[in-house]
Amino acid sequence: MNMLLVLFLSFAEIGLLSVGGGYVAIPLIQRKMVDDIGLLTLSEFTDLVTIAEMTPGPIALNAATFVGLRAAGPLGAVFATLGNILPSVVLVSLLFMVYQRWHGLSLMQSVLASLRPAVVALIASAMLSILSAVVFGEGGMGAGEIHVIETGLFLLALILLRTKKLHPIAAIVLCGAAELLFAAIGWI
């Protein structure tokens, strides 16, 4: 099948199923692009999430653009991005019409409340997947080795973010600088 069509349909599926926002799309993108299609390795996927998070805009949209660009150049970026946003545009338009008509019904409120646990589970799944890649590397928990420096940087950033209210961009810059320093002195 043509790569442009594969990108469009894959990201249309991801866009359709990522109810709850961009973080929900992360495990879907991983499964599709790493596990099913094999366009990315787990390490490349982790880098992709980092870059998509740092760039302005929705994380799922940024990820679609980056994957499309990597797989099929600028036209691939366009197809993947359009595939990612088309389901949202259609669904939000339809849901707005439904919500306007029946927003007062208790059934509608129950449906919305029942989606929350699934969204939290998808976000937690993405977090655990990325954490596993940071701590254990490409092979995950089965790899047998722990990346001590990366794990230490993660824990330090987490502590600084939670206790000192360090700005997330500052945490990203500091971790990147530390990684460069450790690479320069040969520790990694």
- The structural domains of the chain, with segments of one domain joined by +, span 3-105
Predicted pLDDT of residue 1: 64
Specify the length of the chain in residues: 188
pLDDT higher than 90, residue 160: yes
Asked if residues 61 and 81 have their Cβ atoms less than 8 Å apart, the reply is yes
Asked if residues 48 and 62 have their Cβ atoms less than 8 Å apart, the reply is no
The model's pLDDT over 41-98, given as tens digits with 9 standing for 90+, comes to 888 998 888 888 888 888 889 999 999 999 999 999 999 999 999 998 998 899 888 8
Of these ranges, 5-14, 24-33, 54-63, the one predicted with the greatest mean pLDDT is 5-14
Higher pLDDT, 163 or 22: 163
Cα–Cα distance between 40 and 32 in angstroms, integer? 9
pTM above 0.85, yes or no: no
Q: How confident is the model at residue 177 (pLDDT cuts 50, 70, 90)?
A: very high
What rounded mean pLDDT belongs to the chain? 88
Q: How many CB atoms neighbour CB 138 within 10 A?
A: 12
Helical residues (DSSP H) of the chain, grouped into ranges: 3-17, 22-29, 42-54, 59-102, 106-136, 148-163, 168-184
Buried b (16+ CB within 10 A) or exposed e, 70-105: bbbeeebbbbbbbbbbebbeeeeeeeeeeeeeeeee
